Chain A
Amino acid sequence: MDFETVFDEMYPGLFRYCHRLTGDADVADDITQETFVRLYERRVEGAEERVRAWLFRTAIHLVRDRHRLRKNRRRLLEANPVLPAGTELPDRAVERGEDVARVRVALDRLKDRDREMLLLRYEGFSYREIAEAFDVAAESVGTLLARAERRFTKAYDPPGENDDAS
């Protein structure tokens, strides 16, 4: 597989993952692009599965690097939105909807690692791949995922639903 084929096949999933993690399409696009550039620069080769795992691991690290900047960025965006004169606000109504806000709040309740793991699973990664990515025992992945989903639904669902012993 050449680089462009890898990009075409893996960009959508990686972008979706980064967007779910960050909540910002621009940041997700930046990180996804940067990840592919690094893939190229570092000549990561091998089976498709290996390359895919490398891409997602690298993206996770880039997201973490950006995480510390997020608060400052949000503060600036909210306090002083700057748009060029004559430019209309972009249509991001869906992202700003009530449901989206609820999902984001619920995701933010998770520990970083739990969130990253859960979203990796939703991208189709196996327990073994997740275990390798986070250096945990494969036998513990199910427990970690179940815990993450429990916390997520508890934060996401209205009170009274999905209550459990946790």
Chain B
Amino acid sequence: MTHLDDGQLRALLDDELNDAEAGSARVHLGGCDECAQLLARIEAQGVTAREAIAILDVPAPAAGARQAVLARVRGTSSSSERPVPSEPSEAVSWAPFYLTLKRAAVIVLLLTGLAAALPGSAVRAWMVSRWTVAVEMFTGTESGAQPAAAELATSGQESDVAGVEFEVTDEPLRIVLAQIESGSLVVVRFVEGTRAALSGSDARFRRTADGRFEVTGGSGTIRIDVPRTVADASLWVNERIYLTVDGNRIDATGPIEAQTPEEISFRVR
């Protein structure tokens, strides 16, 4: 007598045998206690495993995820990559999203960048002034000074400003971004020298401990400059690790938007 094996019995339970195979298996099971016991054991193991694994389940964050995914696919729409489907069908098809809006955004960004790059332009002057004010408020130093870490704001001091920069003397370096709006862009740039910088609109900056800096409530683009010399650092965004630096190893675990050898961008979800 040829006994049934685990795979055949599992397939029988899963209704994955064809009619002939299933019929033959049932005939065998009717006269073979050994296989019948094995079938019962496999069935019990299956029930145990299914029930146990279901314990892991948590509610899916569908609403937020839906918004985030739609925002991302709309932002990545491209007429050259995504031609309009020629005809609707029951198959999955995609419509082009918001190309006009995207083009407008690109034009605005280009104009802003151009204005900021022009010496003597009002935009450039405003950006420089905001940065300088930020450094002063954060560090308590005079404009133009290059404060060391020890001269930075004391714990808890806050400033509603555009950016700060500081000397990195304490490691590990922890940069914690909290209450960052979904859709914001976090750009981490690895720079020469020993000075780090944080900047972003509508954000508050503060140092909460040696080597630990918080950015709260930012939106749009938040820029972080990290010196290449830093060997132990991590970036947290809304309670999640986005980036760790461990010696020469850099692990980007956040939702990467773009990456180059000098810069990693994350899109906050």
Chain A residues in the interface with B (C-beta under 8 A): 1-4, 6-8, 11-12, 15-16, 19-20, 23, 25-26, 29-30, 32-34, 36-37, 40-41, 43-48, 51, 66, 69, 72-73, 76-77, 80, 82-85, 87, 90, 94-95, 99-100, 102-104, 106-107, 118-119, 121-122, 126-127, 139-147, 149-150, 152-153, 156-157, 162, 164
Contacts and interface: CB of A to CB of B under 8 A. Distances in A.
Contacts of A139: 7
Contacts of B95: 2-3
A144 B5 CA distance: 12
Interface string B67-78: 011101100100
Interface residues of B, number: 62
A95 B73 contact: no
B76 A69 contact: no
B60 A147 contact: no
Contacts of A147: 6
A143 B5 contact: yes
Contact of B60 (A16, A76, A145): A16
Given A7-B66, A20-B57, A76-B244, A149 B46 contact: yes
Interface in B43-94: 44-46, 48-50, 52-53, 55-58, 60-62, 65-66, 68-70, 72-73, 76, 81-82, 90-94
Contact of A45 (B46, B53, B76, B91): B91
Interface of B: 5-11, 14, 16, 41-42, 44-46, 48-50, 52-53, 55-58, 60-62, 65-66, 68-70, 72-73, 76, 81-82, 90-95, 172, 174, 176, 178-179, 208, 212, 214, 216, 234, 236, 239-241, 244, 246, 251, 253, 255, 269
Contacts of B58: 19, 25, 94-95
A82 B52 contact: no
List the 5 closest pairs (A to B, CB-CB), nearest first: A143-B7, A142-B7, A142-B11, A84-B178, A146-B6
Contact of A19 (B9, B14, B56, B91): B56
The SS class assigned to the B binding surface is mixed
The CB with the most chain B CB atoms within 10 A, among A6, A8, A16, A82, is that of A82
B11 A156 contact: no
Contacts of A48: 92
Nearest to A92: B58
Contacts of A122: 50, 53
Contacts of B240: 26
B60 A15 contact: yes
B56 A162 contact: no
Given A1-B91, A72-B246, A149 B214 contact: no
